[in-house]
Amino acid sequence: MLTFEKLYAEGHEEVVFFSDASCGLKAIVAINNTILGPALGGTRLWRYSDINEAITDVLRLSKGMTYKAAVSGLNLGGGKAVIIADPNEKSEALFRSYGRFLESLNGRYITAEDVNIGVEDIEHIFTETNNVCGVAKTHGGSGNPSPYTARGVFRGIEASLTKVYGDRSVKNKVVALQGAGSVGRNLGELLYKNGAKVLFTDINEKNIQAFKEAVPNAEFVSSDEIYDVNCDVYAPCALGATINDKTIDRLKCKIVAGAANNQLDETRHGEILRQKGILYAPDYLINAGGLMNVSIEFEGWSDSKATRMVDTIYDTTLKIFQISDEQDVPVHKATDMLAEARIESIRQIKGSYLGNIPHRFPGRKKRH
């Protein structure tokens, strides 16, 4: 059940329900934090079993976006939305109704693609509101984010190699890649082009074939075997929570660095990785390339801007490793600390000079 105590505890600012029986719209938007800027996060369409399941998901995801934007240096807050629906029952009317409601939030929340929402759905939302990104390139948007997510993960792998081996090059390093989907395939290509040896797994035959064509020297292993192979880097690019009690003792890598969200089943698994001498690259930072890519849509997207921004992941990852060492905390904790410190520092400066401006200058708007 949704309570104000729960919202206070996680710092959520606003939770909005949109309903439109004419098209079956049942949507929930959660705005977790707007200290750094408007809340940006995708909309997930899912067949939730009940409204409480949807609320739990949207609250958890929106808080995650606050941390992701903050640690990535973006001037964005964290928010997320869910639509309770059967993916087979998507319609233009549903997304246009949703877009009209989003417009009423006046830019405090900006949406984008997530599970079961594709660019064609985004286009319907875009008909009704500007507060959406991930729009098609033909309409001035940034297109598919996966190549940028993969580039960011590649930079995170390079930073991890620098920390462990004193050299960022992936040449002759062995990477065990789990998940040959959009991000996995793009990452595989980058690794191959830069001289790494790639072992990979997937459960989807079409994606396996496409991966083999894109990464000619890749060697396929079964989906269970991926945890047992000798490698330098284990790169989870399929599911979350693959670092768990069943897998952690099987890993023979020096580094865990991949695209999947929430790779640690529980936070204690981050501590165990550290004790085992396995370096964990912060998942929500190194997979932020896609978010960085969409974030520049409003100022005019270009490949060079997106690439330059994504490449900052290398330095930020190294900074987090340094905090982890200096403060003697696991990497996931150091990542949270950096995100929280940034939000807190900006909260302070806003308080010092923006406080009463809207009252003194009623005709002027704040930037967000």
Binding range to ligand NAD, per CB under 6 A, among 18-26, 117-125, 144-152, 159-167: 144-152
Q: Which is nearer to ligand NAD, 13 or 297 (CB)?
A: 297
Contacts with ligand NAD in 158-187 (CB under 6 A)?
Answer: 178-184
**What sign results for the dihedral spanned by CA atoms 314, 316, 318, 324?**
negative
Choose which of 106, 204, 327, 348 interacts with ligand NAD (CB under 6 A).
Answer: 204
Is 261 one of the binding residues for ligand NAD (CB under 6 A)? yes
Query: Positive or negative CA dihedral for 155, 160, 163, 167?
Result: negative
* 194 binds ligand NAD per the rule CB under 6 A: no
Contact 228, 252 (CB under 8 A): yes
Q: How many CB atoms lie within 10 A of CB 273?
A: 23
Among 45, 82, 238, 294, binds ligand NAD (CB under 6 A): 238
Give me the active site residues, please. Answer: 80
Stretch that binds ligand NAD, among 82-90, 135-143, 201-209, 309-317 (CB under 6 A): 201-209
240: which 2 tokens?
Answer: 């979350």
* β-sheet bridge partners, residue 236: 178
Which tokens is 179 given?
A: 């998940």
Is 64 a binding residue for ligand NAD by CB under 6 A? The answer is no
Task: Determine the Cα–Cα distance for residues 307 and 149; give it in Å rounded to an integer.
Answer: 10
Number of chain positions touching ligand NAD (CB under 6 A):
24
Give dist(CA 140, CA 300) in Å, integer. 8
In this chain, which of 259, 285, 286, 294 binds ligand NAD, going by CB under 6 A?
259
Contact present, 98 and 27 (Cβ < 8 Å): yes
Question: Closest residue (Cβ) to ligand NAD?
Answer: 181
| Residues within the interface to ligand NAD (CB under 6 A) | 145-146, 149, 178-184, 201-204, 207, 223, 237-239, 259-261, 287, 290
